[in-house]
Amino acid sequence: MPFHLLAAAGHLLRAAGREVADLVLPPACPVCRVRLGSPAGLCADCWRKVRFLERPWCERLGTPLPLDLGPGILSAAAVADPPIYARARSAVSYEGPVPDLVQALKYGDRTDLAPMLGAWMARAAHELVADADLLVPVPLHWTRLARRRFNQAAILSREVGRLTGLPVATDILVRARRTPPQVGLGRDGRIRNMHGAFVVPTARIATLAGRRPILVDDVLTTGATLEAAARTLLAAGAAAVDVLTLARVVAPR
């Protein structure tokens, strides 16, 4: 059986298993496992610990600012080292229960969390959506995809697309080189690690030309992966690239 059919069959079996478990066991918070009245969402205590990102923020990086100084304000980081992408927006700060949610989605087969997380992202993306043509998830290398069985960025993209009406293109950006894990690397190491990692297939260049995609991923840390992916899209003819992630690392308040 082809790999994509095996992956789909595995996903369906896991989903069916969760549905059976929901019938036998009471629904629980995906973070702390306290019992819930419905199978979706977080408990009240975990919900209060989620830090949603709101204005005022840097117009370029989407990082929160301590004071509202009016529209178009840039942070010192955006001025000193502007990214190649036009704008970045993230739904929540990578703190509190959010790392547990990301880990559950990526490594715990908790794809049932995607509708909730995708809704958070769609809310954060409303400014980007107005100017965008399509959503492009950051791809996994095929070997990593085979081991994980799904790409969390693609799953989140489909949820955002469902809520915003933007089409999702999973074949425009390809992971051409398997890169070592980014965990533990500083910004310079991550940039070197991602060099040459992505390509746009020749057959898809015409589709991308002159259009404005939103790159979608789960977490923005140093931005090296998204910078490399955005650079590849721009080199292939994209007019501009925005970035949307579920979470981003934010300096403590």
Q: How do residues 19-75 score in pLDDT, each as one tens digit?
A: 544 445 678 999 999 998 777 789 999 999 999 999 999 999 999 998 888 888 999
pLDDT at 176: 82
For helices 98-107 and 114-124, the axis angle rounded to 10 degrees is 120
Which stretches of 26-126 are assigned E, i.e. beta strand?
Answer: 88-93
| Whole-number Å distance between alpha carbons of 212 and 230 | 11
Paired tokens of 82: 């502007």
User: Closest Cα partner for 46 from 70, 26, 67, 29?
Assistant: 29
In 3-state terms, what secondary structure has residue 89? Answer: strand
Q: Are 46 and 146 in contact (CB under 8 A)?
A: no
Tens digits of per-residue pLDDT, 71-91? 889 999 999 999 999 999 999
The pLDDT value recorded for residue 187 is: 58
pLDDT of amino acid 149: 81
Strand 213-220 relative to strand 134-137, pairing: parallel
- For 40, other C-beta atoms within 10 Å of its C-beta total 11
Average pLDDT over residues 225-248: 96
Q: How far are the Cα atoms of 21, 111, 150, 155 from residue 12, in angstroms, in the given order?
A: 14, 11, 12, 14
Alpha carbon distance 62, 60 (integer Å):
6
Question: Which of 112-126, 168-182, 185-199 is predicted with the least confidence, judged by mean pLDDT?
Answer: 185-199
% of the chain exceeding 90 in pLDDT: 67
Query: Measured at the alpha carbon of residue 98, what is the angle toward residues 95 and 102, in degrees to the nearest 5?
Result: 130
The fraction of the chain above a pLDDT of 70, given in percent, is 82
- What's the confidence (pLDDT) of residue 143? 80
Q: For the whole model, what pTM was predicted?
A: 0.85
